[in-house]
Structure 1
């Protein structure tokens, strides 16, 4: 009878060994899967402040989308005899500029709707508002999106003037129109940069920059 407990113990040890042999690799595999899932979740998480950085990148992309068609127009005019282009060629270049501007302005969120006047109390029941002092520069009170929209509209106006000049046959109209487009483009770029919340430039002081020829 003494051999029976010994066999039972040996059998129990054997079963435990078999279970450990089965469960051990499974537990290790489960731990490995958990570690891989953790690494995958960590690697797929967005970088800090991703939304703000994406807004800045979009602003830079907007600048590029306008720069290319405008500079194409300017290059074609400057290379043409007396700055004159055919009506079809000039219109095609101008259409490319307007299309680029339209894509940017279409992405700007619309202003919130104003409630219907019927829902407001009569003006006689409202307290009088103090007069608002007029500022010398109204653009300071505008939202960045409004400033960008205004500069893009001014750029389109300058491009339209250039279209007239390069198809007029009068070379004297071309240089002022070109200057207007360049100025409008610089303003649009500056407004887009300032309105997009981009970091301040880290340029050297102007005293260390080379002098502009002919300045």
Structure 2
């Protein structure tokens, strides 16, 4: 009888062991015996829905800021602040996509416990009052996203035939829009406040509290 080489015998034995090892759990299942325990990888961490929404909101905001910054970098680095048709369209699509993702994320997020919609208003309010504009909660972040989209469109318009002065003005408006979006995101209801110490308070920009430089001072001279 011809003897098989040692190497072929080892390979055959290994294959047989693998086959038997794979068949063992199946045979155990067919006989009703419990198989090896498997960790439940699909189970989410309980009580983290709000934290996940906050992290997603910050991530979406970062995506918007990044797309806007890329647009500004491209415009300010171009000769005369002018972009080619393809480049302008690429940045326009990127900004619109990022802002759309952020808006959809806001709409699908959990409602704040402090905001009531028309279905949860107290019974003393009638149906007509519940549907009135006063029942709608303000949405500074949504307004900031809408404004940012409008300002990005205006900058791209200026980068396709506008003067350098117009480009510079619209870049400044767009940067202000980025700041407004960050402020609205961080001030959103339910967002954790910063734990950093020593940060200066933002100056008030309420037009009703700023002094009027044109107002005449009373003359107390006799």
**TM-score normalised by length of structure 1:** 0.57
Q: Larger relative CO (CA 8 A, sep 6+): 1 or 2?
A: 1
> Taking structure 1 as reference, are residues 45 and 76 closer, same or farther at Cα in structure 2, changes over 3 Å only?
same
Give the aligned CA root-mean-square deviation in angstroms: 3.6
Distance 1:58 1:77 in 2: 29
Please tell me whether residue 177 in structure 1 is matched to residue 170 in structure 2.
yes
Q: Which residue of 1 aligns with 2:180?
A: 187
Which sections of structure 2, spanning at least 5 residues, go unmatched? 1-33, 110-116, 120-125, 201-222
Write the mapping of 1:18-33 to structure 2, written as runs, cut at 5 A: none
Cα deviation 1:131-171 (Å, max 9, x = unaligned): xxxxxxx9xx9636x22211101001111110121112411
Is the contact made by 1:56 and 1:196 (CA closer than 8 Å) also made in structure 2?
Answer: no
Q: Which residue of 1 aligns with 2:20?
A: none
Q: 1:197 aligns with which of 187, 190, 197?
A: 190
Distance 2:70 2:136 in 1: 31
Return the index of the structure with the highest Cα Rg: 1
Q: Which residue of 1 aligns with 2:145?
A: 152
Number of equivalenced pairs: 148
Q: Secondary structure at the match of 2:83?
A: coil
Distance 2:196 2:118 in 1: 43
Distance 2:136 2:194 in 1: 23
Please tell me whether residue 163 in structure 1 is matched to residue 191 in structure 2.
no
Is the contact made by 1:59 and 1:193 (CA closer than 8 Å) also made in structure 2?
Answer: no
Q: Secondary structure at the match of 1:85?
A: coil
Cα offset, 1:197, TM superposition: 2.3
Which sections of structure 1, spanning at least 5 residues, go unmatched? 1-32, 116-125, 130-137, 208-215
Larger fraction in helix: 1
Q: Which residue of 1 aligns with 2:48?
A: 50
